[in-house]
Chain A
Amino acid sequence: MNIFIGYGMVVVFFAVIVLVMERSYKKDANFTDYAVASRSFGPWFQSMSFLNTWLPGTVFISFAGLAAGSGIIGFYVLPYSLLAVMFMFMMADRVWEWGRVFNLRTQADFVGMRYNSTPVRVIAAAVGILASIPWLILGFQSLGLVFSYLSFGVVGPVAAVFIGIFVLAVRQVWTVRMGMRGIVISDMVQGLVAYAGGFLLALGFIVWLLSSGHGFKSLPATFWNLPGVGSETGFLYFFSLVATGALGAWCWPDIFVRLFTAKSSRTVKSSAVKAAPALFLFITALIIMSLLAHSLSDVAKAPDNVWFLTLARGGPWILALGGVAVLAATMGNVNAITASVGLQVSQDIIHVKGTTDQRMTRTAKYAIAGAVVVSVIGALLTVNTASGLVLLAVASYQGIVQLAPSLFLGLLWRRGTATGAAAGMIVGFVTAATLTFFYPVSIPALGGLTSGVVGMILNTIIYVALAYLAPLSSSEKERVTRLFDNLSTFHTSLSSDTNEPINVRTTS
């Protein structure tokens, strides 16, 4: 009987999403309309679109699980999220302006333009895609938990993953049909359900936990310590987690593309100011609830299931609401990742020299299907994991942060070269991947630095060194000077068929 409550609520939620998308459907005029909704959204939609992409369903599982299992370190997601928003603010002007003038659609497109280099574009796309796969695994894993718990014991974990895939596959019909416009509009509804609904549920259970003998005093003293000097993980571990999180935030292709969907750079900044308090309230409530729930015996044994195990105490309707919140968060994030993976594989790797819109779209769909297959296999392999899932997320950050030197220094410093960017990314990624294999958590001999930080340091040294050892040619120096100081001097060609700007830049 309870399965009808759980799955019934999912059906109702799904129907609302489809209704909203159908009523707001507008045929795409061209590929830019499809890829970035012609840069048309205002601050509220931008803000929720960012949140629905930034806070995936796994925040209720792996991040809440970290707090429930390990204590206060689970709060690290808060400072790095707020720092990411601050970086969004700082980057907005230049990224949006360059994006508009050159009709940029992806992050790889952006760095390719900045360095006037196809190899840089391809490498950036490859790093972004590889690092995104663990988040897809976590996304499908989240769905598996949702459909398992909402079945109230009827559906096992493996079958639940396949039900989740089916639901997402059906959802993809509208994603593929409506493009970025559909994603941003549905993000608003999904975001309200996930984060406003999630916040209220978390707040309610904080009150319940505090009033039923599960207060802060029932938690172990070690819960309140961060790794400091002399600790096993090292005193630089917390710094590494926050630094790779904050710097890595805008290296995610699906997050970065959000900067291109706004109608102006002022809109991007306004959305940052709106998103920050929402992030603060939601994450604070979720993490405090998870900390307190550690004293529940079943949560202590399976901390990654803290959200479902705690909400189950409120009865089937409450658990169903909580499950829908996770589903809403997951749908937004998985949609964004698959769309960006598909687009980057197609536009920035396979068809980097250009092709028709039809071929690009077809290739993107195949790429999405391939990424889904790989991620589903990963989700099935981790389906019975009840703790430590956050390590997948942390590991992926070590890879994606290798885009940070080229991206951020490319925005701030004129001397950076394509050679430095390419070499830095490759060395950084290989270093991070190798060190992660031997030191999956932190490197004790380096005070607790993570593999990603070490990779990023090497990456930056190479980037800066090559800027001086093999500097820009005079023509490239002139182009970069105009890029920074006099954007209006770039000629923009307009296609007479679509009236859409076409990049006028040479790539090597």
Chain B
Amino acid sequence: MTTDQQSEYIPKSRHSTKLYVIAATINLAIMLLPPIYLGMTSGGAALAIGYFMGLSVILLISLWALNLYDSSSSRAGSS
């Protein structure tokens, strides 16, 4: 036995397509460029490890920026 009822959940769509496209493009560039450069030069440990650390910092900052944007959007939407 079931009871039908209208779902009370109203979604809050906060997708920012442009932001995600920019983030995806940056990510793609990050994935494609390094081996072309690092494979052609021999910069040693400093360059190689420095590249991965720099890449990680960029990704972490991107994530925090997205989170900040998302939090402020949801606060603006609920006020």
Contacts and interface: CB of A to CB of B under 8 A. Distances in A.
Contact of B35 (A221, A238, A272, A489): A238
B76 interface: no
Contact of A90 (B13, B20, B48): B20
Contact of A229 (B10, B39, B44): B39
Interface string A77-117: 01100110110011001100100110000000000000000
A266 B14 CA distance: 11
Given A82-B60, A86-B66, A224-B48, A487 B35 contact: no
A101 B39 contact: no
Nearest to B68: A273
Nearest to B43: A224
B39 A493 contact: no
Contact of A273 (B20, B45, B67): B67
Contacts of A288: 49
Contacts of B53: 284
B2 A496 contact: yes
B72 interface: no
B14 A231 contact: no
Given A85-B63, A280-B56, A280-B60, A488 B36 contact: no
A29 B28 CA distance: 45
Nearest to B14: A93
A318 interface: no
Nearest to A76: B52
Contacts of A236: 32, 35
A237 interface: yes
A75 B52 contact: yes
Contacts of B67: 89, 269-270, 272-273
A89 B66 contact: yes
A188 B38 CA distance: 38
Given A82-B59, A273-B63, A242 B31 contact: yes
Contact of A488 (B4, B10, B42): B10
A268 to B, nearest CB: 11
A3 interface: no
Nearest to B37: A228
A501 to B, nearest CB: 8
Contacts of B79: none
A473 interface: no
A276 B63 contact: yes
A14 interface: no
Contact of A79 (B1, B4, B15, B56): B56
The listed residue with most A CB atoms (<10 A of its CB), out of B37, B56, B64, is B56
Nearest to B38: A226
Interface in B2-40: 2-15, 20, 23, 27, 30-32, 34-40
Contact of A276 (B23, B55, B60): B60
A496 B3 contact: yes
A269 B73 CA distance: 14
A271 to B, nearest CB: 11
Contact of B63 (A89, A488, A490): A89
Contacts of A297: none
A228 B12 CA distance: 45
A492 B2 CA distance: 10
A221 B44 contact: yes
B1 A229 contact: no
Contacts of B64: 273
A223 B1 CA distance: 66
A302 B56 CA distance: 29
A235 interface: yes
B40 to A, nearest CB: 5
A226 B60 contact: no
A225 B60 contact: no
A465 to B, nearest CB: 22
Contact of B34 (A226, A490, A497): A226
B44 A82 contact: no
A277 interface: yes
The listed residue with most B CB atoms (<10 A of its CB), out of A79, A85, A493, is A79
Closest 5 CB pairs of A and B: A228-B39, A216-B45, A224-B48, A238-B35, A226-B35
Given A79-B56, A85-B63, A488-B9, 5 more contacts: A219-B45, A224-B43, A228-B35, A266-B74, A496-B1
Interface of A: 72, 75, 78-79, 82-83, 85-86, 89-90, 93-94, 97, 100-101, 216, 219, 221, 223-231, 235-239, 242-243, 246, 266, 269-270, 272-273, 276-277, 280, 284, 288, 487-497, 502, 504
